[in-house]
Structure 1
Amino acid sequence: MLKGLIFDVDETLVYYEGYDHREWFENWVKPELEKRGIKLDYSLYSKTARLELPRTYVKKLGINPVELWRIIDEVNWKYRKKMLAEGKIKVFPDADALEELKNLGLKLAAVSNASLENALLVLRAFDLERYFDAVFGKDYANLDGVKPNPYLIHKALKALELQPNEVLVVGDSENDILAAHRAGVKAVNVVRFGRVEGADYYVDSLWELLELIRNNPV
């Protein structure tokens, strides 16, 4: 019986108007790293961000990986604050369905590859935090524990006190689906920007997710 849902945050509940990953790195992150004497190009950054290389790989360059990611996350917080002030971070209109999902008696968690502070910043900006029993972001004690690693999904399951077969993971990306399946949880792909292969269920909106749950005790 379904008892809980674990949601991705970025591009599932909120989206970023005009965001370009490389441009963000070159204009926001790289200058701040250089101020601290850290040289890191976009190619290596993106490989570690996507876990094509472990995040500890930068130790080979004499860079402390925890320090590196704390700086990146501080920059990201400033970037998000600016984007919010300019109205360029927006909530998907169907996020209202969270209230109805909560009213079904389900436990809800949010899990993000961003830092906890950055995840909470956008959730609070749109008054979404109140729907969640637990929120998790990047763990500096386990930098490689971000999705598609199942680590954060396991943390959410523990916090919700639920078993993998009692939960669905809801997200927009392949990382969400892989993390769910590696944790033994079924995954719902919210088709925001294209269908991701491998999900157990597909919905076009959170309202459709609500109907799926109401009509099928998945």
Structure 2
Amino acid sequence: MLRGLIFDVDETLVYYEGYNLRRWYEEVGRPAMEKLGVVLDWETFRRIVKGELSRTYVERFGIGHVEFWKAMDRANRAYRERLLREGKIKPFPDVGALEELRKLGLKMGAVSNASQDNTELVLKAFGLDKYFDVIFGKDYRYLDGVKPNPYLIKKALNALGLKPEEVLIVGDSSNDVLAGKNAGIKTVNVVRFEKVPGADYYVKDLWELVEMVKNWSSHAPADR
């Protein structure tokens, strides 16, 4: 029986006009690294962010990895605050479906690879935080626990008091799909930009997700 949903945040619930990782690296990440006296070339930075290299990799340059990534997150905070002021971060037009999902009695969590404060920043900016029982950004105690690692998903699952078979992961990217599979949870790909291979279900928007959940509920066996 479906009892909960765990959502990705960026590019699933909100989007960033003109954003891509390479541009962020050039405009935000690289200048922040230069202040630390450490600069990762683009390909190394991309591989770390995509999970191909450990986030501890930066320690070979003589800096603690937690210190390094906290500095990146501070730079990202300033970047997000600027985009919010400029109106360049926006919620997708279907986020009103979150209220309908709450009405269905589901427990809901939000999980992001961004830091806790950066995740909360964008959710609170649009009043979306009120829909979630738990919100988790990356954990500085285990920085390699970001998606597709299942660590954050399992953390949300435990906080919600739910079992893997009672939950769906909802996201836009391959990281979301892989994190769900690694946690033993079925996944729903919201096809914002492209269809991600390997998801268990596909929806064109969150309203279609509402209809899917309602359809399941109407066919669920009564509790005995």
* TM-score in terms of structure 1 length: 0.98
Specify the code of the residue in structure 1 equivalent to 2:215: N
The corresponding residue for 1:52 is 52
Question: 2:71 matched to 1:83?
Answer: no
2:183 aligned partner:
183
**Conserved 8 A contact 2:5-2:167:** yes
Q: Aligned pair 1:151/2:155, yes or no?
A: no
How far apart are 1:25 and its partner, in Å?
Answer: 1.1
- Maintained 8 Å contact 2:38/2:61: no
The offset of 1:39, in angstroms, is 2.3
Letter in 1 for 2:113: N
Partners of 1:201 and 1:39 in 2: CA distance: 40
- Counterpart of 1:200, as a letter, is D
**Secondary structure of 1:110's aligned partner:** strand
Deviation at 1:44, TM superposition (A): 1.0
Q: Which moved more, 1:14-23 or 1:88-97?
A: 14-23
- What does residue 197 of structure 1 align with? 197
Q: What residue in structure 2 maps to residue 70 of structure 1?
A: 70
Distance 1:51 1:92 in 2: 27
Residue 97 of structure 1 pairs with residue 121 of structure 2: no
Please state how far the C-alpha of 1:61 moved relative to its aligned partner.
2.1
Q: Summarize deviations over 1:14-51 as a string: whole Å, max 9, x none.
A: 00001121121112121122122222222111111111
2:122 aligned with 1:122: yes
Partner Cα separation in structure 2 for residue 113 and residue 205 of structure 1: 22
Once the two structures are TM-superposed, the CA of residue 166 in structure 1 deviates from its matched residue by 0.3
Q: Runs of at least 4 residues of structure 1 off by over 4 A?
A: none
Partner of 1:9: 9
Aligned to 2:107: 107
User: What SS is found at the alignment partner of 1:63?
Assistant: coil
SS of residue in 2 equivalent to 1:189: strand
Tell me the amino acid that sits aligned with residue 213 of structure 2.
Answer: I
Q: Does the Cα contact within 8 Å between 2:16 and 2:88 map onto a contact in 1?
A: yes
For residues 35 and 10 of structure 1, the distance between their equivalents in structure 2, rounded to whole angstroms, comes to 27
Amino acid at match of 1:127: G
Query: Residue type of the partner of 1:83?
Result: L
**How far apart are 1:192 and its partner, in Å?**
0.2
Q: Which runs of 5+ in 1 are unaligned?
A: none
- In the TM superposition, residue 110 of structure 1 has moved relative to its aligned partner by 0.0
Q: TM-score, normalised by structure 2?
A: 0.95
Query: Per-residue displacement from partner, 1:120-170 (whole Å, max 9, x unpaired)?
Result: 000000000000000000101101000000000000000000000000000
| Residue 163 of structure 2: aligned partner | 163
Q: Secondary structure at the match of 1:168?
A: strand
What is the rounded CA distance, in whole Å, between the counterparts of 1:99 and 1:172 in structure 2? 20
Q: Give 1:18-57 correspondences, 5 Å limit.
A: 18-57=18-57
Structure 2: which amino acid aligns with 1:130? Answer: K
* Letter of the structure 2 residue corresponding to residue 102 of structure 1: R
Deviation at 1:106, TM superposition (A): 0.2
State whether residues 91 and 126 of structure 2, in contact with CA within 8 Å, keep that contact through their aligned partners in structure 1: yes
Deviates most, 103-112 or 36-45: 36-45
Q: Which amino acid aligns with 1:79?
A: Y
Which sits farther off after the overlay, 48-57 or 186-195? 48-57
Give me the whole-angstrom Cα distance separating, in 2, the residues matched to 1:213 and 1:199.
16
For 1:112, what is the secondary structure of its paired residue?
Answer: strand
Aligned residues: 218
Tell me the residue number matched to 1:214: 214
